Structure 1
């Protein structure tokens, strides 16, 4: 049977690592026109730390701008702003800006004059729109379907029947139920001129109906395997990388979720077996030790 091989899988043929450790593709886009669709996607996909830092920075900048505007309009058009000290006056303008922006007023400061009232009204409308956008983004981030699949730290080469196999383990980080889960693996080799080829790997079991514990995904090395006869040194010379795609139905989101991961040749442990990571307790429950997902033992 001829081995399937592809010269390009949509990732290009002249790259270093194909898939980053966080599951994103190692691709930089340049020359792409700015669109609000891309802005929305970036705001949804960025980390929570980045999102919160950006949100707080935007809120602070907006309120500093309005506070500066109130300050330069002057104390004559704001009731309660008559300390005579510029620093205190600016701080009071900043506090007034936050109160107006959030539509929460305490009565100590209030606009007195048409221009000041117009600026305050405009800021109040701006605050309503900004918080509506932030609320929508927060909902989108929470509601976005995602798979929290944990992968073993290493891919291992373990004995399998009369030969060898490449294995890795996965488990669900969440307590949600993932059903009808499928796995696909592609191995990428670097050829001459830094071009790469991609070959699918046949799995012992490509899918499972239920996924309550862990799943050890196994590729038996047969004569038809692109890994047949490949040594550790040869994989390093070929700059081998294993690309994994996991897809399953998550009952929490009521739709399919997917996860992408990869192992490079220097992340392979040769001559090892995964340790058992679950046991039964005295009450009859099966206890899954998630912290043992990457544990393995060397064999002679």
Structure 2
């Protein structure tokens, strides 16, 4: 574990943090690193490990000349495929160890194969079984009057065919301010929402923060948002009913993503029989001028 002057990029929503003089690697993080890889990179990583192990042991089999029966001492290809068979504990019987050194190498490879299979199976199981929240956030936030009061609003929709339950909503405001000493710092404010959570979240809803005298946004205009580099982080934590466990999804907005004087178009219409609602996900991001 050591520190490096190289730049490390960490992305949080649309904001990118460049870390310098930070710890670049810890062996304790290798499990988390493998789980965070995309599926194509994960498959390439496993393939690389598999080929690397077989290439290493094939070189050892070639080094112990005459240790493997029916193995051409100069054929690295034969040694490689013998390594593949040994690693998988297949053992076709055509080639087999005949010397003590070859037996020791084959034993070591079998142990590596058993542990490798167990680790690989565990990683694949965790990646398949790990629940994720399939939530869709609106591309913009809007500020307009709602019930006669200026209100900050965003939309979020559940894209799964099953509802999620115990959904909790949070919005964090980040803005730069100047202290009395003249220091420019970032201040964090958790915004009070009209609805902090719902018991069942089947489709889509609008999350609202009323900009009253108690709000840190009170009296701010679009120019103030730009001046203070206003940034929002929105989060939804809920429980997946299929795999009963807590899942979380988040997004971020900058001052450029806030539309003043706009409101979201209505996406709910009642069904003809009056027993349900039609939700138009195609208009989830659409806005219109507020009256």
State the TM-score bracket (shorter-chain normalisation): 0.7 to 0.9
Tell me how far apart the structure 2 counterparts of residues 19 and 217 of structure 1 sit (CA, whole Å).
Answer: 24
Post-superposition shift, 1:240?
Answer: 0.6
Structure (1/2) with the larger strand percentage: 2
* 1:106-125 matched pairs, under 5 angstroms: 106-125=92-111
Alignment counterpart, residue 20 of structure 1, candidates 12, 24, 34 = 12
Alignment counterpart, residue 114 of structure 2, candidates 123, 128, 135 = 128
Post-superposition shift, 1:19?
Answer: 6.6
Alignment counterpart, residue 297 of structure 1, candidates 285, 288, 291 = 288
Q: Which runs of 5+ in 2 are unaligned?
A: 1-8
Alignment counterpart, residue 233 of structure 1, candidates 213, 220, 223 = 223
Post-superposition shift, 1:134?
Answer: 1.3
- State yes or no: 1:69 paired with 2:55: no
Tell me how far apart the structure 1 counterparts of residues 279 and 216 of structure 2 sit (CA, whole Å).
Answer: 34
Tell me how far apart the structure 1 counterparts of residues 111 and 282 of structure 2 sit (CA, whole Å).
Answer: 50
In the alignment, which residue of structure 1 is the partner of 2:6? none
Tell me how far apart the structure 2 counterparts of residues 295 and 258 of structure 1 sit (CA, whole Å).
Answer: 25
Tell me how far apart the structure 1 counterparts of residues 126 and 67 of structure 2 sit (CA, whole Å).
Answer: 41
Comparing 171-180 and 287-296, the one that deviates more: 287-296
- State yes or no: 1:171 paired with 2:162: no
Tell me how far apart the structure 2 counterparts of residues 292 and 70 of structure 1 sit (CA, whole Å).
Answer: 64
TM-score when scaled to structure 2?
0.82
- Whether the aligned pair in 2 keeps the contact of 1:19 and 1:261 (CA below 8 Å) is no
* 1:49-198 matched pairs, under 5 angstroms: 49-74=40-65, 76-82=66-72, 86=74, 89-192=75-178, 193-198=183-188
Post-superposition shift, 1:225?
Answer: 1.7
Tell me: higher relative CO, structure 1 or 2? Use CA pairs within 8 A at least 6 residues apart.
Answer: 1
Post-superposition shift, 1:145?
Answer: 4.2
Q: Deviations over 1:74-116 (max 9, x none)?
A: 3x3333333x8x5xx2222222212211222334433333222
Alignment counterpart, residue 253 of structure 2, candidates 260, 263, 275 = 263
